[in-house]
């Protein structure tokens, strides 16, 4: 499913580029400028990794507590 999703996304982006050259992507092109100057340091990559770890702990607690 993940591979299919990735391939279809790539196909969609390529098609969009061919059909509407030099046009910005809808929605995404409006959202991305919001993050300009926000994640402009390498520390955010590390914080992202730590956040994945924290969510892994929360997920583990939830799944372990609710599984039979």
Residues interacting with another protein, by CB under 8 A?
37-43, 46-47, 49-50, 53-54, 56-57, 60-61, 64-65, 67
Q: How far is the CB of 64 from another protein (least distance, A)?
A: 4
Kindly state the smallest distance separating residue 65's Cβ from another protein, in Å: 7
Nearest-approach distance from CB 29 to another protein, in angstroms: 21
At CA 28, angle to CA 5 and CA 36, rounded to 5?
A: 125
| Residue with smaller CB distance to another protein, 15 or 54 | 54
CA pair distance 41, 38, nearest whole angstrom: 8
Rounded to whole angstroms, the Cα distance separating 36 from 15 reads 27
């Amino acid at each position: 499913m993940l591979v299919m999703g990735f391939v279809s996304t790539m196909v969609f982006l390529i098609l969009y580029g061919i059909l509407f050259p030099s046009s910005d992507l809808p929605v995404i092109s409006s959202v991305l400028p919001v993050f300009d100057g926000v994640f402009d340091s390498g520390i955010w990559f590390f914080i992202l990794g730590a956040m994945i770890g924290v969510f892994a702990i929360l997920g583990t607690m939830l799944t372990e507590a609710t599984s039979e």
